[in-house]
Structure 1
């Protein structure tokens, strides 16, 4: 009885790959689609503005954005206008198109294995970029206000959002590898 349960668990790896691929597709499609909404575009400003790899997309990178932040669910017209002029929404929409496109290609791995493999690789690069925010974005860590627990290793809400990309990075390696294996097996059968 015990061994049959363990055998069943030992054979879950294929199902795990499917769940991993599905998770990557859903997460990147959903987050990509959200990039078309103001609150999501506003939410990524600290990450983009502080990034040495992305701040050039904004007209006014760090530290100006701090005076023009809208909280989730808040819309202050003057802050919104500043973000329009900052290219916050233009960049966010372009990123949204990119993420949705990648998610679709990851989903279509059986139809288009090479584009899917490239999409998995690019999502891996995106996650590495996202993980770099732990170093470049001060808002990733609990600020020193009145508590004694602040800075490293105390992740803020933004930091907790970022750290999960370690798991996604592993997932992209799985989806990329699985897609490459599918492509190679098809080449052998030709």
Structure 2
């Protein structure tokens, strides 16, 4: 029975590592793409129709706004990946990602192009489907925030072995 528990603990530890570094890689990669002209155009309908971003969009312009978002995403992804060296900083990065994914999920409500025209509110377009995956990334960010906070606290065994 102890071996089974140890195997489950090891599997959970590997799962958290995969989740953390996949999350960090996704955020870093997407952040780096914010400097590409096609990504500026792809993000245009999202930021221009968002109450959170429309003022920044008007003030900074679409290219500078995308660069600001990109720099923020690169910072957040880097912090998440820093957990072995700086678990508190990693927790901050995960909380930043939580805010980021809550923001992108809000685009489902604020971006008309997120829904199929004439098909009802639940009929997501390709853009809406793309945005919906951020719900999974939000869950990953919540888990990595908790794991980083546990790692920053005085240890009583593996961080993931002490559910809240």
TM class, shorter-length: 0.7 to 0.9
Residues 1:129 and 2:103 are matched in the alignment: yes
Secondary structure of 1:59 counterpart: helix
Q: Secondary structure at the residue paired with 1:185?
A: coil
Q: Distance in 1 between matches of 2:10 and 2:71?
A: 37
The list of structure 1 runs, each at least 4 consecutive aligned residues, that deviate by more than 4 angstroms after superposition, is: 7-11
1:172 has 2:146 as partner: no
Extract unaligned runs of 5+ from structure 1.
61-85, 145-149
**Inter-partner Cα distance in structure 1 for 2:7 and 2:86:** 31
- Report the count of equivalent residues: 152
Deviates more, 1:151-160 or 1:132-141: 151-160
Who is 1:98 aligned against?
72
Does residue 19 of the first structure (1) align with residue 18 of the second (2)?
yes
Q: Are 1:162 and 2:162 counterparts?
A: no
- TM-score norm. by structure 1 comes to 0.74
9-18 or 89-98: bigger deviation: 9-18
How far apart are residue 89 of structure 1 and its match? Answer: 0.5
1:142, CA displacement in angstroms?
A: 0.8
> What are the ranges of 5 or more consecutive residues in structure 2 without an aligned counterpart?
156-164
Q: Structure 1 residues 113, 11: closer, same or farther in 2, change over 3 A? A: closer
TM-score normalised by length of structure 2: 0.85
* Structure label with greater radius of gyration: 1
